[in-house]
Amino acid sequence: MQNSMNIETACQKIIATGHKMVEQKMIAGSWGNLSIKIDTESCAITPSGRAYDSLTAQDIVIIDMTGKKLAGDLIPSSETPLHTAIYKAIPEAQAIVHTHSIYASACAAMHKPIPAVVEDLVQIIGGQVEVAEYALPGTQALADNAVKALQNKKAALLANHGVVCWGTTLEAALMTAEIVEKAAHIYCICETMGGAVLLPDDDIAVMHDFYQQHYSKRQIGKGDETLE
Ligand SMILES: [Zn+2]
């Protein structure tokens, strides 16, 4: 198994992160979903239609990359095609967070990308967060449009729906979802006050490159430099 993760560990991580996201108001009720890649052939994913506050590790479903259930009693998330499409298209993706957070969803409802308004956003994303073309929830078309909008970035907006982020860990994917939501919030505030001054492309490239080379490693305890 390549990049294999213990199934129990993956399920526990999903539960802990789901509870954290409810506390942060990133998701409400059963909306939004999380997954972790177990290996190249399978992933652990939240079940469909279950509230996060009552979810336990036993409720997490294991599926293969075609969406077929391998283990678990519940039905996998209705957005399973979105998760498997991203894992298939982006081999570095090890975990996915999909939320309906308010300000990112507001931008998605306007079909407006979140531009390069703040440094932490461009450090992680490398530019603006694009909007995927609209498709009905739970469809392969939504998954395909999201992959197209992601390009080589770690987040994309889903038109009239929400946001999807991937990371090399679930913690990293959640952090990206938090940064995207914060940037969307700032962008919405700026729009009411005459508009933000966007970061220049050259500076975005420098910050994104530095983040990838050094800071992201430091966050997982490997690097020794900081951008601040
Ligand atoms: Zn959704």
Ligand 1 centroid to 122 CA: how many Å? 24
Ligand 1 centroid to 17 CA: how many Å? 17
Instruction: Look at residue 222 in the predicted model and tell me its pLDDT.
Output: 54
Instruction: Return the C-alpha torsion angle 81, 86, 89, 95, nearest 10.
Output: -130
Average pLDDT over residues 11-32: 86
DSSP state of 114: B
User: How confident is the model over 36-73, as pLDDT tens digits?
Assistant: 999 999 999 999 988 888 889 999 999 999 999 999 99
Instruction: Look at residue 142 in the predicted model and tell me its pLDDT.
Output: 98
Residue 45 counted as domain residue: yes
Q: Which domain holds residue 15?
A: 7-194
Residue 148 counted as domain residue: yes
Q: Which of 79, 119, 130, 133 is catalytic?
A: 79
Ligand 1 centroid to 101 CA: how many Å? 10
Ligand 1 centroid to 136 CA: how many Å? 10
Residue 225 has pLDDT above 80, yes or no: no
Average pLDDT over residues 177-183: 97
Instruction: Look at residue 218 in the predicted model and tell me its pLDDT.
Output: 67
Residue 35 counted as domain residue: yes
Residue 1 counted as domain residue: no
Average pLDDT over residues 186-191: 97
Average pLDDT over residues 90-100: 96
Residue 88 counted as domain residue: yes
Number of structural domains in the chain: 1
What is the CATH number for 167? 3.40.225.10
Residue 155 counted as domain residue: yes
In the structure encoding, which two tokens stand for residue 115, read together? 């531009």
Q: Going by DSSP bridges, is the β-strand pair 95-99/69-71 parallel, antiparallel, or unpaired?
A: unpaired
Residue 34 counted as domain residue: yes
Residue 140 counted as domain residue: yes
Distance of CA 13 to the CA centre of its chain: 15
Q: Going by DSSP bridges, is the β-strand pair 33-39/42-45 parallel, antiparallel, or unpaired?
A: antiparallel
Instruction: Look at residue 2 in the predicted model and tell me its pLDDT.
Output: 46
Ligand 1 centroid to 203 CA: how many Å? 33
Over the chain, what is the mean pLDDT? 92
**Type of residue numbered 193:** M
Instruction: Look at residue 53 in the predicted model and tell me its pLDDT.
Output: 81
User: How confident is the model over 108-118, as pLDDT tens digits?
Assistant: 999 999 999 99
Q: Are 87 and 65 in contact (CB under 8 A)?
A: yes
Q: Are 57 and 73 in contact (CB under 8 A)?
A: no
What pTM did the predictor assign? 0.92
Average pLDDT over residues 116-122: 97
Least confident window among 49-63, 86-100, 132-146 = 49-63
User: Is 41 designated active site?
Assistant: no
Ligand 1 centroid to 76 CA: how many Å? 13
Q: List Cβ neighbours of 104 (8 Å cut-off, separation of 6 or more).
A: 114, 129, 157, 162, 163, 180, 181, 184
**With bands split at pLDDT 50, 70 and 90, how would you rate the model's confidence at 1?**
very low
